[in-house]
Amino acid sequence: MTSKIRIVMGKPGLDGHTRGIQVVARGFADAGFEVIYLGLYKTAEEIVRAALDEDANAIGLSILSGASPVVFCRDTLALLHLAGADDVALFVGGIIHDDEAHSLREMGVAGVFLPGTPMVQMVNAVQTEVEKRPLQGIGVSTVQT
């Protein structure tokens, strides 16, 4: 990769637990990624729109409220697909049950990071995944708001 990895990060839904995403965002920034941190209470539409607008290689979500990530990830992947942006890799971290983690990987989430995952492992996972995927250019935004 000659250009910086661009990752849009945000917290979906009704979850105010910011500490996780804050430290991971810093970890990615320190590893040389371009981090676009959207903050809290984002919808799938808002996150995907930002990813498209920012030519992001990846999206990082954090869910620490106990809510299930499955529905949100499914919606996010669907919106990316609609916009022709399947090359954008989706990563999610937080309180995730083992069976949910399995479902997430099955549906195409590129990485699931459970509590205690070392930062270096997340950085490597994002780098490896992004290198695998060719950037297909700017996706036309068909995201409805």
Write out the residues near other proteins by the rule CB under 8 A.
13-19, 21-23, 25-27, 35, 37-41, 43, 65-68, 71, 95, 97-98, 114-116, 118-120
- The H or E element containing residue 110 is none
Cβ count near 94 (within 10 Å): 21
Rank residues 45 and 129 by Cβ distance to other proteins and give the closer one: 45
To the nearest whole angstrom, how small is the minimum distance from the Cβ of residue 24 to other proteins? Answer: 8
Tokens 């049950």 belong to 97
Rank residues 67 and 82 by Cβ distance to other proteins and give the closer one: 67
User: Is the CB of residue 91 less than 8 Å from the CB of residue 61?
Assistant: yes
Residue 39: strand pairing partners = 10
Rank residues 9 and 130 by Cβ distance to other proteins and give the closer one: 9
To the nearest whole angstrom, how small is the minimum distance from the Cβ of residue 133 to other proteins? Answer: 25
To the nearest whole angstrom, how small is the minimum distance from the Cβ of residue 96 to other proteins? Answer: 9
To the nearest whole angstrom, how small is the minimum distance from the Cβ of residue 125 to other proteins? Answer: 15
- Give the burial string for 105-144 (b: 16+ CB within 10 Å, else e): eeeebbbbbeeeeeeeebbebbbebbeeeeeeeebebebe
Rank residues 54 and 86 by Cβ distance to other proteins and give the closer one: 54
